[in-house]
């Protein structure tokens, strides 16, 4: 391991980003053996959430993200990219989510992706402050970025932003 954990942002800020296409990448969701291609996410809106089990605000917002995805079955995917080095800590957190929210997790709309080397988080998306969530529309374009804690995922403002991702 190395050094102090990255800073955690205390308040959420919503940053619009030019509608750039999602850079192509491959990922292997937990529990699957075959890598998927980012193209496979097209056709539904996607929240790419970068998190870690040691990041208190990440852990705090996870249930709200699960509830949000459940509001749009089959239309919204949560790609939960974990930068944990400790797979045991990550699994304990996921087990707790499953115990506390059995109706919301696991579901096919929530893909947990281990990224201990931060190839996706840092190398591809330049994410260094957690939590950070990239909003991707159904056409695979990045529409915005929510950085930091305390995002009101279930509130009307973010609801509007998510529905603007052209949910089919």
Q: What is the pLDDT of residues 35-89, one digit of tens each?
A: 999 999 999 999 999 999 999 999 999 999 999 999 999 999 999 999 999 999 9
**Mean pLDDT on 106-110:** 95
Helical ranges in 33-137 per DSSP H: 56-71, 87-100
Whether residue 120 contacts residue 25, with contact meaning beta carbons closer than 8 Å, is answered with yes
The sign of the torsion formed by the CA atoms of 62, 63, 67, 68 equals: negative
Cα–Cα distance measured from residue 69 to residue 107, given in angstroms and rounded to the nearest whole number: 10
Question: Taking 50 as the threshold, does the pLDDT of residue 29 lie above it?
Answer: yes
- Residue 47: exposed, middle, or buried by beta-carbon count in 10 A (0-12, 13-18, 19+)? buried
Coil vs helix vs strand at 3: coil
Nearest partner of 80 among 101, 65, 60, 102, judged by Cα: 65
pLDDT digits (tens, 9 = 90+) for 125-138: 999 889 999 999 99
Are 166 and 138 in contact by the 8 Å Cβ rule? The answer is: yes
Angle at Cα 133 formed by Cα 132 and Cα 136, nearest 5°?
A: 155
> What's the pLDDT score for residue 150?
78
pLDDT tier at 20, thresholds 50, 70, 90: confident
pLDDT at 129: 87
Element (H, E) at 149: none
Give the percent of the chain with pLDDT over 70: 89
**Tokens representing residue 27 in the block:** 């990922």
Q: What is the predicted pLDDT for the residue at 168?
A: 63
Quick: pLDDT tens for 4-19.
555 555 566 776 676 7
CA distance 143 to 132: 14
| Residue-level pLDDT at 6 | 55
Mean pLDDT of the chain: 90
pLDDT at 1: 44
């Amino acid at each position: 391991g190395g050094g102090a954990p990255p800073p955690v942002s205390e308040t959420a800020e919503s940053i619009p980003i030019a509608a750039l296409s999602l850079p192509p990448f491959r990922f292997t969701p937990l529990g699957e053996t075959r890598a998927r291609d980012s193209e496979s996410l097209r056709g539904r809106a996607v929240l790419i959430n970068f998190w870690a089990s040691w990041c208190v605000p990440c852990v705090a917002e996870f249930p709200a993200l699960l509830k949000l995805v459940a509001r749009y079955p089959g239309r919204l995917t949560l790609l939960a990219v974990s930068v944990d080095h400790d797979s045991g800590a990550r699994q304990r957190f996921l087990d707790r989510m499953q115990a506390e929210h059995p109706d919301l997790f696991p579901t096919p709309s929530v893909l947990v992706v281990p990224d201990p080397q931060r190839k996706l988080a840092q190398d591809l998306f330049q994410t260094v402050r957690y939590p950070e969530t990239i909003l991707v529309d159904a056409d695979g374009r990045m529409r915005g970025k929510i950085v930091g804690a305390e995002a009101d995922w279930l509130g009307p403002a973010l609801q509007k932003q998510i529905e603007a991702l052209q949910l089919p």
